[in-house]
């Protein structure tokens, strides 16, 4: 790898959450990581020392905290910031973050792992060989189809389906299919597939969101692509190619047979983790290495979404949400 993990900033489990659920387990892991790798655990970005080598920060916190964390990471001397999706709660905030990073000369790369996924690449390559073909990206999660499970999901991901689970697919559309708010000609929802519910979260407050959704976008430049997302659809995501008669001629899964062995190993090692963590593990390794290598050597992080792509992706999500609801 092109980077070492030197610092982990964790204010909750090193503070108020230290004695609550997961706190003792975190402390045990932190002690083990410090003794094995020398990784230091601190509670604030402000506690970081001045970097002696190029520093990359991975921001994976609550979406609402990201604008503050990005500014703190810039002040901490980071050369590159790897920002988890969607980046910020609103387009305005993400645009302000983009401006701050540009003024500081900092590159911000996004954790849109599906941009480098094998199943996305294989599907796009196959579709190019079939004139007039149509691609559908299908994203699945493995939440239980119960009010309790989905209510917890809706509250924890309060930004909504399109800004959370399906944001990866929207990033693909922006990156590879000319989709932008200005270039969308039409949006057609698949009402038979789609489902929206209003459910109470653990706090008792009610949240309205899609538990599954499917739609097709046509662009003014003549491209057409579909997206489906199902919170209770299982552990595997896939993409399909259909011909001009609507017949499916290609399907590629994530994970494929090659990756399933890795998934089984990780499942045995971490039996309580969400299943989709395992299927996405190889792609996140790729994303992190590309960001680390760019920071260390300046080599282009080919395929990774920039914060500019993220801004347009969030714009598309905000545009689509009222249309589809």
- pLDDT for the residue 197: 97
Q: E strands along 98-234, which residues?
A: 107-110, 134-140, 184-189, 195-200, 206-219, 224-230
Return the structure tokens found at 123: 């599907």
3-state helix, strand, coil in the chain (%, to 5): 40, 20, 35
Asked if 307 and 295 count as a contact pair (C-beta separation under 8 A), the reply is no
- Residue 247, CB-side half-sphere exposure with 13 Å CA sphere: 3
Q: What is the DSSP string of 58-102?
A: EE-S-GGGHHHHHHHHHHTT-SEEEE-TT-SSSHHHHHHHHHHHH
| Whole-angstrom distance, CA of residue 185 vs CA of residue 174 | 14
- pLDDT for the residue 114: 92
- pLDDT for the residue 147: 97
Paired sense of beta strands 248-254 and 237-242, if any: antiparallel
pLDDT, averaged in runs of 10, over the chain (325 residues): 96 96 96 97 97 96 93 97 93 97 97 92 96 97 96 94 94 97 98 97 97 98 97 92 97 84 88 82 91 96 94 96 93
| Whole-angstrom distance, CA of residue 41 vs CA of residue 299 | 29
């Amino acid at each position: 790898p092109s980077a070492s993990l030197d610092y982990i900033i964790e204010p909750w489990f090193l503070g108020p959450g230290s004695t609550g659920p997961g706190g003792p387990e975190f402390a045990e892991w932190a002690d083990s990581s410090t003794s094995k790798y020398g990784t230091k655990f601190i509670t604030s970005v402000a506690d970081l020392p001045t970097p002696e080598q190029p520093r990359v920060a991975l921001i994976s916190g609550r979406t609402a905290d990201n604008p503050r964390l990005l500014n703190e990471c810039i002040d901490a001397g980071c050369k590159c910031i790897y920002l988890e999706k969607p980046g910020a709660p609103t387009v305005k905030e993400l645009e302000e973050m983009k401006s701050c990073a540009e003024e500081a000369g900092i590159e911000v790369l996004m954790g849109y792992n599906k941009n480098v996924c094998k199943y996305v690449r294989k599907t796009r390559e196959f579709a190019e060989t079939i004139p007039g073909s149509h691609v559908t990206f299908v994203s699945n999660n493995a939440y239980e189809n119960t009010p309790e499970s989905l209510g917890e999901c809706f509250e924890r991901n309060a930004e909504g389906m399109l800004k959370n689970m399906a944001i990866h697919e929207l990033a693909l559309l922006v990156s590879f299919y000319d989709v932008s708010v200005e270039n969308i000609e039409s949006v057609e929802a698949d009402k038979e597939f789609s489902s929206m519910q209003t459910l109470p979260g653990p706090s008792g407050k009610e949240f309205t969101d899609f538990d599954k959704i499917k739609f097709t976008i046509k662009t003014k430049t003549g491209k057409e692509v579909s997206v489906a997302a199902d919170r209770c659809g299982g552990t595997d995501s896939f993409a399909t190619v259909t011909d001009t008669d609507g017949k499916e001629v290609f399907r590629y899964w994530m994970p494929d047979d090659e990756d399933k062995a890795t998934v089984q190993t990780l499942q045995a090692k971490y039996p309580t983790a969400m299943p989709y963590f395992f299927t996405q593990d190889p792609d996140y390794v790729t994303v992190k290495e590309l960001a680390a290598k760019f920071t260390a050597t300046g080599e282009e992080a080919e395929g990774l979404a920039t914060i500019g792509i993220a801004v347009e992706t969030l714009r598309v999500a905000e545009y689509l949400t009222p249309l589809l609801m």
